Chain A
Amino acid sequence: MEFSRRETIALGLGAVALSVMPFRVHAATEEVIAAFTGGADVTDGGVTLTAPEIAENGNTVPVAVNAPGAAAIMLVATGNPTPAVATFNFGELAAAQSASTRIRLAGTQDVVAIARMPDGTFIRAASTVKVTIGGCGG
């Protein structure tokens, strides 16, 4: 079986499309992040995200975020059915731009914190949490 030049190019394009497919999995996460950032660039650093390395129970995973000077911090669980977790908006009387809470994680995944600074820039931090028992089961 011989391929013409046209068929070879078509095959090549198909292969490229297939290799791009896995990124679709994170489309929901990206949508949530884009809704928060408005498509602006997000740089690493400046945010501290404290999460356990291994969480035995995905129903209640303690996490803490700290981003000095931030106006708002969004938490995203990239592997959850609904990736958004919470958005912290800090008011004028917030002594520190930090907060801690307990979240649900469906399984082992990356948790991402994105902070919006007052000048409109965005910074992020991520942490991988291994979950023994997921927190979204029925």
Chain B
Amino acid sequence: MASGVKPRVKVPKKAAAGEAITIKTLISHKMESGQRKDKEGNVIPRSIINRFTCAFNGKSVVDITMEPAISTNPYFQFDATVPEAGEFVFTWYDDDGSVYDTKKSVAIG
């Protein structure tokens, strides 16, 4: 499912060097679990985002493996250290091979 997938990320625009900031991410995706059945009783095939990564200037913050038990519109909140000015890269990997990414830069100040 590649339609209507929209990543949303909340990152502070500024941080002190070495400060820990909280990041919230949400991506709209129906996360079909592969357990549900349609009206005719056929199993709806699994279609989920199976991996999410966050990196800052190429260094990993979190790498999350996701299973069908993650809710529709996967939401994650975690803390990251900002050692210098730079850019966060958020990447989601879909079962169908699609990759969705978004970037946020953080200034020191």
Contacts and interface: CB of A to CB of B under 8 A. Distances in A.
Contacts, number: 104
Interface stretch (B5-13, B66-74, B96-104): B66-74
A98 B71 contact: no
Contacts of A82: 67-69
Nearest to A94: B61
Given A81-B35, A88-B62, A93 B80 contact: yes
Contact of B77 (A60, A80, A101, A138): A101
A64 B68 CA distance: 18
A87 B69 CA distance: 12
Interface in B24-77: 33, 35-38, 55-56, 59-72, 74-77
11 contacts: A59-B71, A80-B69, A86-B66, A86-B67, A88-B63, A91-B61, A98-B79, A99-B62, A101-B76, A102-B75, A138-B36
